[in-house]
Chains A and B, each alone.
Chain A
Amino acid sequence: MKFKKMLQATAIAAVASFAMGTAFAADLTVGLGSEPSSIDPHYHNLTPNNAMSANIFNRLIEQDDKQNLLPGLATEWKAIDDLTWEFKLREGVKFHDGSPFTADDVIFTWDRAPNVPNSPSSFATFTKGKTMTKVDDYTIRITTDKPYPLMPQDVSNVAIISKKAAENATTADFNSGKAAVGTGPFKFVKWTPGDVIELVKNEDYWGNVPEWDKVTVKPIKSGPGRVAALLAGDVDFIENVPPTDIERLTDNGDVQLSQGISNRVIYLHMDQFREDSPFVTAKDGSKIKNPLMDARVRKALSMAISRDLIVERVMEGVAVPAGQLLPEGFFGVSPNMAPEKYDPAGAKKLLAEAGYPDGFKITLHGPNDRYINDAKIAEAIAQMLSAAGIQATPETMPKSVYFKRASRGAEGGLPEFSFVLVGWGSGTGEASSPLRSLLHTYNKEKGFGSSNRGRFSDAEFDKLVEDALTTVDNAKREEMLIKATERGIGEMQGIIPLHYQVNTWAARKGIAYTPRTDERTQLEYIHSSK
């Protein structure tokens, strides 16, 4: 009896010391699904790179977990007139090498960001058409030729680097660490591609100093591999938990999940620019005039899809049905656009009205390695459409093949498919990003409709979006964006929204993540929890 008590006591002591040990050890090992292609924050404008650079560098304006704008290296900003924006810079900020941050660094950054040689996706997107001038050491101005309301969003995408450390620096100098000197919460230590990125905390950070002394980032591309590494205790935290593992991890007492809705909508494009669409035929295989040109048919397709069923069965509950392009809470989201109700009978009626009482034959193309469960979604949709009398066949392929064909696979650089499944995440964190890229008439000169793979085109919609993009007044702009959404999706059904993705992070018990809607894993947002 006595012995048993003693044993219990030792066990408790052992557990307690173990728990304390982990509480004090403020080193963190993180397993990421995708590795950045460089440490140079201006080399490659893509999520893995931007997420990593946000650990080391600051922007003038930061985006918080919901993509709201927060003061970063600029404490305040405003449009002085329609064409000029003024930014007040934060004083007393030091770079990792101890040198002070001033307007010269911002001017230097603005010159370098669009001019990195061989950039596979350039930051010129954010800087072009904008001229930056220095007013004094802690004030800068940016001028444009036309009113440009998205200035703060664009500025929030460009990482500020040190002029002293990075003058004449190449991308390789950033990768080696020589020029990787920022003002961010973590200092860069080293990068061995494919193996490890090491960071230590910046004790002198101007914001909240991170709780982790040292962070080791390990790229683990395979999903099961990441989960195994977490369960084995080799890493403390992982991103992109595969949906099939979510249930098992939820039941595991040693693991804590963090889930959050993302800005990524999964949706369908429909060919609306070819009378003779290559993947639409009558049921007997003969040619017909492209039925997707008729808004009633597009509406019928939308009504024939049960979003609840997709979310519940295909996505295992980890998604949210969508009625527009961004979930509730984002700027420019319409309060009137609920997800389309599942109504196969109504769909059949609309099809008959449009002159297709017997339906037609169509192929739905989609990727099979890009979005969560993408191939399964395509299969489910094809089956639901068949129930409404439209004979749909799903055809999925790897993203490396798919996107080129979907965007410009046909002759003359036109989209190849008739009916495609795609996703869109709004980098600006508001509604104009998907509206201008997915639904505005394709226009090479103006740069609109670049991902409009169905070539939807509506003059009224175009005008609303273009006006919104030159209206600096926030309230007026939001109203225009809402109207545009209601016109483009509600009335015209230019595309069919399906659902918003929900992302899952997992950590050992005691660590949590504040989920970011932009799907990034930023180390600052990993924190201990009780």
Chain B
Amino acid sequence: MSSELRYTANTQLEHLHARYTGTGHADITKYEWLTHQHRDTLASIVGHPTLTSYLAIADNESIGRVKFEMTERMLQPCGPPPAKDED
């Protein structure tokens, strides 16, 4: 990409998307949006000590286990993506 093109609005937006994972855009699918939401939520739970404690008490698991399972779930929180239409 030439440096002149960088100044157009479109590339700026692309740059922002690359930089801030989880930012939405006009053509986002429901699946993508939901996956972002879930990953954000899971990361927030792991990042807040009171929330991990709360879940650990409710489920009677250790805090370490709760954090681990939450982080694991971030890989694919909402199941596999929907199959693409073949057109």
- Bound pair (A, B): no
